[in-house]
């Protein structure tokens, strides 16, 4: 039997649930249940027996957990084979995801993302732009009103600039 840790919830359009194993684990309950079994737990403290799974999948998980090394230890503890997939550093979506806590470098060297108010606002804006591009590529008709709502919800203010004319 296989285990997939960090299956995603699709709560914020950030994840897409995809079945890779019979048992799925996430810290939140997914909107759509695709796995045969679901365990609501943290990747850093899995309530599962040692070596109870043949293969453990963890795709784009480590950047979301507060302690990635502890999560890695747990993945190795519960599984025989551990398959980890992380986005490369040049993947723009990585920067556009406000929930990412870590930037992964070579040899499992993790650096914290510097999260400043401007950086968070920029990543939310970038994600909105990426979502507009995704919707456009899917051929869906959309208006800018959801984008404007997002901008106003995140702190942008509409300002009216009066036109003035200068007489010679």
Last residue of a domain, one of 77, 98, 115: 115
pLDDT value at residue 54: 96
What total number of domains does the chain contain?
2
Q: Are residues 96 and 37 in the same domain?
A: yes
Task: State the residue range of the domain holding 161.
Answer: 116-168
Is 107 found in the same domain as 50? yes
Q: Are residues 126 and 62 in the same domain?
A: no
Give pLDDT, residue 167.
45
Residue pair 63/86 in contact by the 8 Å Cβ criterion: yes
Claim to verify: residue 97 and residue 123 sit in the same structural domain = no
- Closest C-alpha among 154, 104, 87 to residue 127: 154
Together in a domain, 58 and 24? yes
pLDDT of residue 162: 37
SS3 of residue 23 by DSSP: strand
**Domain co-membership, 122 together with 108:** no
pLDDT attached to residue 153:
59
Walk along the chain (168 residues) in steps of 10 and give the mean pLDDT of each run: 87 64 90 86 96 93 90 94 79 67 78 74 74 57 50 49 40
Task: Give the whole-angstrom CA distance, residue 120 versus residue 117.
Answer: 5
> Are both 111 and 124 inside the same structural domain?
no
| Whether residue 161 is found in the same domain as residue 84 | no
| The last residue of a domain, from among 115, 131, 160 | 115
**Which pLDDT belongs to residue 139?**
54
Task: Say yes or no: 96 and 151 in one domain.
Answer: no
pLDDT of residue 10: 67
Alpha-carbon span 132 to 5, nearest angstrom = 29
Looking at the structure, do residues 53 and 136 belong to the same domain, yes or no?
A: no
- The pLDDT of residue 154 is 56
Range 26-60 burial, b when 16+ CB lie within 10 A, else e:
beeebeeeebeeeeeebbbebebeeeebeebbbbb
Are residues 50 and 12 both part of a single domain?
Answer: yes
pLDDT score at 129? 73
Residues 17 and 80 in one domain: yes
């Amino acid at each position: 039997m296989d285990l997939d840790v960090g299956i995603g919830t699709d709560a914020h359009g950030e994840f897409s649930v995809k079945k890779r194993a019979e048992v799925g684990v996430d810290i939140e309950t997914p909107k759509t249940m695709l796995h045969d079994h679901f365990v609501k737990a943290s990747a850093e403290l899995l309530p599962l027996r040692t070596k109870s799974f043949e293969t453990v999948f963890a795709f784009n998980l480590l950047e979301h957990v507060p302690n990635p090394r502890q999560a890695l230890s747990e993945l190795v503890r519960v599984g025989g084979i551990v398959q980890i997939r992380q986005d490369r550093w040049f993947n723009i979506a990585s920067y556009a995801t406000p929930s990412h806590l870590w930037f992964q470098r070579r040899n499992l060297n993790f650096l914290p993302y510097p999260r400043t108010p401007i950086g968070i606002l920029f990543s939310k804006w970038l994600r909105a732009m990426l979502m507009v591009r995704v919707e456009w590529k899917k051929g869906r008709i959309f208006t800018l009103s959801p984008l404007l709502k997002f901008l106003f919800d995140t702190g942008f203010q509409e300002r009216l600039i009066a036109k003035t004319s200068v007489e010679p």
